[in-house]
Chain A
Amino acid sequence: MSVRNWLDERFGWDDLIAPLRKKTVPLHKLSYWYFLGGITLFLFVIQVLTGILLLLYYRPGANEAFESVQYIMTRVRFGWLIRSIHSWSANLMIFTAFAHMFSVLFLKAYRKPRELTWVSGVILLFLVMGFGFSGYLLPWNTLAFFATKVGTEITGQVPAIGKPLMIFLRGGEEVTGATLTRFFGFHVAVLPGLATVLILLHLLLVQRLGISIPPQLEMKWTANPSAKREMKFLPNFLLRELMAWYVALGVLGALAAVFPWNLGIKADPFVSAPAGIKPEWYFLFMFQTLKLIPPKVWFIDGEIVGVLAFGLIGLLWLLLPFFESDQPSHMKRWITGLSVFALAYVVGMSVYGYLAK
């Protein structure tokens, strides 16, 4: 008796994967964008696995965190590789998550009936950025310490709830060992829990609703069904996805071996912040925008205006599919224009922030 038969007899394995066998993937010149979601998922799995390994040695605490990461990097066998892969895959995951979001946006894959897939995906992107923000502090080095200080200070600018929220995040008025312990908790328990639930929901929705076809192609295929081209998800698309994962693994390995993730200098709360301190690249467009806003906008503090504006934009971004028509022939052109502008703004402002002194 094969393993497959054994499983089938006990909980109907064949019935379980039957939807996957029926599932097809539209085949067209933009099909390769469909791989991005899978690559992001693969990188998330890498994050979980390397994160668990790092937990074997990492110690959260102002007096131990830096030393424990240093120990991982220098003494633990392949510790440098695990930590470097964890850091690099985190950054690649955020990059692919952004790329996945913009590909969905440009291919109009968010429109009815896939609004909830979009909503869960955008929330996942926010969570991934939360992973980045909380994880960045964990090695307790100088850059991370001051980036967290600046980041939580910006949170404190939110009217009414900002100050209590900042104290909640910091575990007090200042960034201390208490902040590190909290961020560790968010990073290894709260965020993974939420992310896992949302990823399952996201995948379930993708499975239930199938893969979207770009509107123009959809109209063409509706008019001429014989022109429709598809690929079986299992095994054809999955094997190609597997190839993409292997490529991602190779890139990760190369980055980790040639550019091991720097440890930096241990944080010292009593020294002044290094000159020109900047957040991680994925927060740079927001950071640079806040820097460019004048101190006072009318009578309101400029930073508050910026924080509120980003909050509002985030909310509207989340609800974007609800402004779109479900008819391929009635796509809103302003949404496409807005998407192009958003991509240009994020890229342009990030580059500007990187180059600015």
Chain B
Amino acid sequence: MAILRNKLRSFSAARYVGLAGFIVFAACLSYGQTTNSCLDCHSALPDPLGVSQEKFSQDIHAQKGLTCASCHGGDPTSDDPDKAMSRKAGWKGKIDRKQIPQLCGTCHSDPAYIRQFNPSLRTDQLGQYRTSVHGKRFAAGDTKVAVCTDCHSVHDLRAPSDPRSTVNPVNVANTCARCHSDASYMKGYSIPTDQFAKYSTSMHHEALAVRGDLSAPTCTTCHGNHGAAPPGVDKVQNVCSNCHTFQAQMYEKSSHKKAFEAASLPECVVCHSNHGIRHPTDAMLGTGPDAVCMRCHTPGDACDQARAGLQNALSQLDAAIKSADRVLGVAESSGMEVSEARLGQNQARDSLTKARVTIHSFRTDLVDQDIQAGMKIAAKNLQAGKEAMIERNHRRFGLGISLIAIGMVLAGLWLYIKKIES
């Protein structure tokens, strides 16, 4: 019992020491903590004055240690609203829309300041904004145009890499569309408001939003972001060529380059359109509803004949690949090992893709080189498929012979058993 009492006594002593330690620790914590009295009130206020703790904690600025006072001024350490929001303490109140770009630029145009948070973050956004259509109109006194917070949001502003950010590549088009698809808001600007509707049907949107390919273009890819402006008619190719390099190289040397320049036609857009770019098909070379060549060329002229030749060549290669695919598919489903030929089919498909790219040179001789290369590979793969089918038939014939032989042995054994047992 005495031992137990001693143990309990030492436990009690330890408990008091622990409690004292906790009080000191808590005091240290409270001493070092900075209060943000702004949120105490504003988290309880309705919109537009309400900012919840949860919302603000998602903001990249809050995560980097900035507070409400960093933009709005005031004294967030005071619980007295009069002191916290006193002009003496530098309180600015609601930021005037006209001041927003300049206010954001205070930090975001200061490389020395930004470097301490993210050395790779650019600091030319304000400069670029001033060159944009938005920025120029803003400078001219049009406050309807977009400022920083319209695109980036406010109080819950997230890094562009965050999928929930309004400027994440997947969300950019929706963000732009908030104004640019609003016909009543855009009234007076004399620009169309169907860009988003068209973009939503485009292959670029499908790649980005459906397939999740973040390298696929959205509004800012072609128009720029902070320096947003429509590319000039003669500069379209420069924009598209950022991704479609080979097509641009082919086009650069083609006869269409000079012709389009002379007619002030917007290069790539002439055939492919702009916002509603669909997946190009060989039918574009045809004479049907999707045809593009015949919009300018005269039926029966040399260009029309070249067009027909190109379309025919592409169709031939496409048919040859599909034919080889069909035979290889049957062979494969019969259990034949044709993976090498299957792999070879990818080369044939590459040749077809290359030929479709070479179309942008508008030279039949260059396209024909790719077509012939593809035809050769497809023919080889078709032959491999046919040989696999012949081999399959040989195997089945061999099986038939073997089964007959086995059947004869079985019959012989059965007769022998009957004989020795009779």
Contacts and interface: CB of A to CB of B under 8 A. Distances in A.
Interface of A: 70, 73-74, 80-81, 235-236, 239-240, 242-243, 246-247, 249-250, 253-254, 257-263
Contacts of A80: 337, 395
Interface string B396-422: 101100110011011001101100110
B414 A263 contact: no
A247 B399 contact: no
Interface pairs A-B: 5 shortest CB-CB? A260-B335, A257-B399, A73-B337, A250-B406, A257-B395
A274 to B, nearest CB: 17
B336 interface: yes
B99 interface: no
A240 B417 contact: yes
B335 A262 contact: yes
Contacts of A239: 413, 416-417
Contact of B335 (A240, A242, A254, A259): A259
Given A74-B337, A260-B335, A242 B420 contact: no
Given A240-B417, A250-B402, A260 B336 contact: yes
Nearest to B399: A257
A257 B406 contact: no
Nearest to B406: A250
B190 interface: no
A258 B398 CA distance: 11
B54 interface: no
Contact of B410 (A73, A247, A257, A260): A247
Interface string B315-354: 0000000000000000000011101100000000000000
Contacts of B336: 260
A70 B414 contact: no
Given A70-B337, A246-B413, A257-B395, A235 B402 contact: no
A352 B4 CA distance: 60
A58 to B, nearest CB: 15
- Max chain B C-beta neighbours (<10 A), residue from A250, A257, A258, A261: A257
Nearest to A74: B337
Contacts of B339: 70, 263
Contact of A246 (B335, B340, B395, B410): B410
Nearest to B402: A253
Given A250-B406, A253-B399, A254-B399, A236 B420 contact: yes
Contacts of A249: 406
Looking at chain B's contact residues, is the secondary structure mostly helix, strand, loop, or mixed?
helix
Nearest to A266: B339
Contacts of A73: 337
Nearest to A249: B406
Nearest to B407: A250
A253 B407 CA distance: 13
A258 to B, nearest CB: 7
Looking at chain A's contact residues, is the secondary structure mostly helix, strand, loop, or mixed?
helix
Contacts of B337: 70, 73-74, 80, 260, 263
B340 to A, nearest CB: 7
Contacts of B409: 246
Contacts of A259: 335
Contacts of A258: 335, 396, 399
Contacts of A261: 335
A257 B394 CA distance: 10
B12 to A, nearest CB: 33
A250 B411 CA distance: 14
A239 B421 CA distance: 12
A73 B337 CA distance: 7
Given A239-B416, A240-B417, 9 more contacts: A70-B340, A80-B395, A239-B413, A243-B410, A243-B414, A246-B409, A250-B406, A254-B403, A257-B399
A242 B398 contact: no
Interface in B182-235: none
A247 B406 CA distance: 8
Contact of B398 (A257, A260, A263): A257
Nearest to A257: B399
B420 A235 contact: yes
Contacts of A250: 402-403, 406-407
A74 B335 CA distance: 12
A247 B414 CA distance: 13
B401 to A, nearest CB: 10
Contacts of A260: 335-337, 395
Contacts of B335: 258-262
A235 B419 CA distance: 12
23 contacts: A70-B339, A70-B340, A80-B337, A81-B395, A235-B420, A236-B420, A239-B417, A243-B410, A243-B413, A246-B406, A246-B409, A247-B410, A249-B406, A250-B406, A253-B399, A254-B399, A254-B403, A257-B395, A257-B399, A258-B335, A259-B335, A260-B335, A260-B395
B307 to A, nearest CB: 41
Contacts of A242: 413
A242 B414 CA distance: 10
Contact of A74 (B340, B396, B398): B340
B340 A236 contact: no
Nearest to B394: A257
Nearest to A73: B337
B341 to A, nearest CB: 10
Contacts of B396: 257-258
A236 B420 CA distance: 8
A80 B336 CA distance: 9
Nearest to A248: B406
B413 to A, nearest CB: 5
Contacts of A74: 337, 340
Interface string B49-90: 000000000000000000000000000000000000000000
A27 to B, nearest CB: 11
A169 B12 CA distance: 53
Contacts of B417: 236, 239-240
B405 to A, nearest CB: 9
A237 to B, nearest CB: 10
Contacts of B416: 239
Contacts of A254: 399, 403
A263 B409 CA distance: 33
A238 B116 CA distance: 88
A250 B410 CA distance: 11
A264 B415 CA distance: 45
A347 to B, nearest CB: 27
Nearest to A235: B420
Contacts of B395: 80-81, 257, 260
A356 to B, nearest CB: 25
Contacts of B410: 243, 246-247
Nearest to A254: B399
Nearest to A260: B335
B403 A253 contact: yes
